[in-house]
A and B are shown apart, each in its own frame.
Chain A
């Protein structure tokens, strides 16, 4: 995609977008190219400010996204913290010529997490699970709609369902041990909530 590279990891079901700098390093990771050669190639593409620190920073990003074979081992002799590397690279890139290596990632949601919500009418009070089919609970969202949810707390605080991850809604009832609203997974059509492990009666469990 232009200067960027989009990668899909079929094992983790994660998508990654590598910006130009991260993509350049990733493209040259063939197991044969030395650090010196990599820096030289980076400089020819990005300019003289690109250096070894930038390569290490890109490698750290790639390692965090699990796009490397095996764990990354930073050489001890370097003794440079990520923050210092960022600061130094930030100064070097102050002219605006260099973009720091960056990777944005998403988790591809399973199909059931993308299902439309199942509406319900008998809202469960006091965290008792009975209002929906298959052992799922009926709860009101912060938007005032009643939907079937899985009685499993995510711990993600929210103010509205639009701020929750895909497949979850924001609900207000204190069933997750906190008085603040939390995102909670929807129970799409056909989902069997009764299979959830360690469900505490009268209180929704954390996964």
Chain B
């Protein structure tokens, strides 16, 4: 099958037709099928079969390069999903992807940049519980005006095993792009109180750049877009404790920023 996502054309082929529904679950938000089979890159999924004496590996290729070899089919599809999202985020022509959680609140976006395991999903979930609108728990997707677009997929919270298997139903998902009201670079510390300071526009831009996926590929475009993002937003950096306390502080920051 061939599809496009954010201006990038991709293809996935499988050796077993039963695997196709699982492939569909792995596709990035906003994908669209395309009729033309000519693609920018092609993934090949080879699902290993098991017999009474033989247990074959399941394999995943990107072009000619093998990127996964495992007996665990779930792991294979997790790898496919993660790789597809990352690939699109890096190669997207029309948008800039920054690793961040995003919610909307009173017509402005709160952007929470941070790497994996920084607690983005937990904070996003708590903000949604407090009345914010869900936009993304993985990437902030910016247009060239610096507005953030929804990247809505089921909000995935990690279980104790580390597998993101607890999906949270999204009641309010954003549909329209929003200007950014607040960027909060917070680090979780058990038992800590909220302690954050404002960043200068230059420091803020640098902090966002550190979480920008295509920064090495398109630094000039990234700088231009992020400049527009930080120009109209408050940017704070600091330490946070539990999500409930942080949520109140963040919402207050947005309200103060508007007034």
Contact = CB atoms under 8 A, between A and B. Distances in A.
Q: Do A and B interact? A: yes
Interface of A: 1-2, 4-6, 8, 10, 13, 15-19, 104-112, 114-121, 133-134, 141, 143-147, 160-163, 166-167, 169, 186, 188-190, 192
Interface in B105-149: 115-119, 138
A163 B119 CA distance: 12
Contacts of B216: 13, 108, 110-111
A10 B162 contact: no
Given A111-B90, A119-B163, A162 B119 contact: yes
A189 B82 contact: yes
B168 interface: no
Given A108-B215, A117-B116, A189-B86, A146 B162 contact: yes
A107 B216 CA distance: 10
Interface in B193-251: 200-203, 205-207, 209-216, 219-220, 223, 227, 230
B205 A6 contact: yes
Nearest to B71: A133
B205 A1 contact: yes
Nearest to A191: B67
B79 to A, nearest CB: 4
A18 to B, nearest CB: 8
Contact of B117 (A16, A19, A108, A145): A145
A72 to B, nearest CB: 23
Contacts of A169: 116-117
A16 B210 CA distance: 11
B83 A15 contact: no
B188 interface: yes
A160 B227 CA distance: 31
Given A15-B210, A169-B117, A4 B162 contact: no
Given A6-B223, A147-B162, A166-B211, A120 B75 contact: yes
B117 A114 contact: no
B202 A5 contact: yes
B172 to A, nearest CB: 24
Contacts of B14: none
Given A104-B206, A189-B83, A119 B164 contact: yes
B210 A145 contact: no
Contacts of A162: 117-119, 187-189
A2 B117 contact: no
A10 B83 contact: no
B115 A114 contact: yes
A104 B203 contact: yes
B78 interface: yes
Q: Which of B62, B117, B200 has the most CB of A within 10 A?
A: B117
A60 B129 CA distance: 50
Contacts of B138: 116
A166 B90 CA distance: 16
B166 to A, nearest CB: 12
